[in-house]
Amino acid sequence: MPISRKKKKKKRPAPKMEDIPLTPMIDVVFQLLVYFVFTFEPIDLFAHLQVYRPASDKNATSETQPEVVRINVFPDGYTINGRVVSNETLLNILFRMADLDPNQTVIIQPTVNSPHAHLIELLDMCTNAGLNKFSIISAD
């Protein structure tokens, strides 16, 4: 009987583990990150909020805003909304205004050549009448 010869398999040497270059992979990841950061548009949540406002009150009366009261201070006296008035008339008008609406805003416009004492006198009249909301602006 012939002797069978078994073929011996040649053992192949194990392949060497080579290092995988990570630098190009990291570069690609950072480029993708930069792309997504620059192209990202967040959704404006406040633009899509549903807001339910209460219905208007049926019993509420429509209050009209009072007209603007403009008092000019001149060297020889005062004007209210362009109408010349005396000190007594001005004081009476201020008291009536305070009775109607104590929060009425009075716009005071002193001219350049009006005496400072006239402005102080007008401020005292407003305070005595009960008006404490006034704005002083330049007439020039």
pLDDT in tens, 109-129: 988 888 888 888 988 888 888
Geometric angle at alpha carbon 108, from 100 and 118, rounded to 5°: 110
pLDDT in tens, 19-66: 888 899 999 999 999 999 999 988 777 777 777 777 777 776 555 555
Ordered domains of the chain (ranges, CATH): 69-136 (3.30.420.270)
Q: Which two tokens stand for residue 51?
A: 């807001």
The predicted model scores a pTM of 0.51
Q: What are phi and psi of 134, to 5 degrees?
A: -140, 155
